[in-house]
Amino acid sequence: MKNRNYNGLIKLTAAVLTASIALTACAAPGTEGINSSIAADIITSEGQETASDSPTAGQAADYLMQAAGKYGRASERSDVLAGFQEEEAVTWIQLLVLAGRAFGELPAPEGAAKLMASPSVNLSSVPEWAKAELQNLANGGILAPSDLGQAEQTEISAEQNTSVDTEKPATMKDLENLTSRFHARFGTSLNDDFYHTVNKELFDRLEIPEGEMFAGGASTVTANTNRQLHELILELTESGNEYPTGSSEQKIRDLYLSVLDTELRNREGIKPLEKYFSAVDNARDYSELNAAIALAVNELGNSGNGLFPMIAVADTEDSSRYIMQLLTMPANLSLEDYNNEDSEVLKEYRESIIRQLTVAGDSLQEAERLANAIIQMERELAGQTIDPEELGDLQRKPKRYTPECLDALMPQARPSELLTAIGLSPDVVMQAFDEKQFEAFAGWFTPENLELFKAYQKMALLTGFSGYLSEELAFEFYYGQAADSDAANSAVQMFLSEELGELYVERYFSSESKAGIEEMAGMMIDVFKDRIRRLDWMEVNTKQEALKKLDNITILIGYPDEWQKTDVTIKSRLDGGSYFDNAAAVSAWQWKQMVERLKKPVDSRRFPLAAYTVNAAANRNTNTIIFPAGILQAPFYDPNASFEENLGAIGTTIAHEITHMFDDGGAQYDAAGNIRNWWSEHDNTYFKELCRKAEAYYDGYEALPGISVSGAETLSENIADIGGVACSLEVLSKMENPDYDAFFRSYAGQWARLGSYDGLAEMASSDFHAPNRLRCNRVLANFQEFMDTYHVKPGDGMYVAPEERIKIW
pLDDT per position as a tens digit, 489-513: 999 999 999 999 999 999 999 999 9
Average pLDDT estimate for 605-614:
96
Residue 40 above 90 pLDDT? no
Is the confidence at residue 596, as pLDDT, over 50? Answer: yes
Fold observed for domain 301-479:
Neutral endopeptidase; domain 2 (1.10.1380)
List Cβ neighbours of 695 (8 Å cut-off, separation of 6 or more).
711, 712, 715
pLDDT digits 0-9 by tens, 114-133: 999 988 899 988 999 999 99
pLDDT at 48 (0 to 100): 36
pLDDT at residue 445 greater than cutoff 60: yes
Mean pLDDT in residue range 282-293:
98
Residue 559 has pLDDT above 60, yes or no: yes
Label residue 394 by pLDDT band (50, 70, 90): confident
Q: With pLDDT > 70 as the criterion, what percentage of the chain qualifies? A: 91
pLDDT at 22 over 90: no
Query: pLDDT tens digits for 396-422?
Result: 888 999 999 999 999 999 999 999 999
> Looking at residue 57, what is its pLDDT?
96
**What is the tens place of the pLDDT at every residue in 131-180?**
999 999 999 999 999 999 886 544 434 444 456 777 899 999 999 999 99
Same fold, 301-479 and 511-568+607-804: no
Segment among 118-127, 283-292, 639-648, 679-688 with least mean pLDDT? 118-127
Q: How far apart are CA 642 and CA 699, in angstroms?
A: 35
Rounded CA separation 456/405 (Å): 23
What percentage of residues in the chain have a pLDDT greater than 90? 83
What does the domain layout of the chain look like in residue ranges?
A: 36-205, 301-479, 511-568+607-804
> What is the pLDDT at residue 398?
86
Average pLDDT, the chain: 90
Lowest mean pLDDT among 439-453, 473-487, 721-735: 473-487
Q: How far apart are the first and last CA of the chain?
A: 51
Mean pLDDT lowest among 130-134, 480-484, 541-545: 480-484
Residue 389's pLDDT is what? Answer: 76
pLDDT exceeds 50 at position 18: no
Residue 3: per-residue pLDDT: 38
- Per residue, what are the HEC states of 605-673? CCCCCCCCCCCEEEECCCCEEEEEHHHCCCCCCCCCCCHHHHHHHHHHHHHHHHHHCCCCCHHHECCCC
Task: Quickly state the pLDDT bin for 562 (edges 50, 70, 90).
Answer: very high
Q: Give the phi and the psi of residue 323 in degrees, each rounded to 5.
A: -135, 170
pLDDT value at residue 160: 45
- Per DSSP bridges, beta strands 214-215 and 310-314 are unpaired
Question: pLDDT band for position 322 (50/70/90)?
Answer: very high
Reported as a pLDDT band with limits 50, 70 and 90, residue 478 is: confident
Helix 511-534 to helix 715-733 angle (10° resolution) is 100
Contact between 570 and 582 (Cβ < 8 Å):
yes
CATH number of 511-568+607-804: 3.40.390.10
pLDDT reported for residue 12 = 34
Residues 6+ apart with CB under 8 A from 84: 57, 61, 90, 94, 98
At 216 the pLDDT is 95
* pLDDT reading at 72 higher than 60: yes
| pLDDT for 119 | 83
- pTM of the complete model beyond 0.75: yes
pLDDT score for 162: 52
Task: Flag whether pLDDT at 194 surpasses 90.
Answer: yes
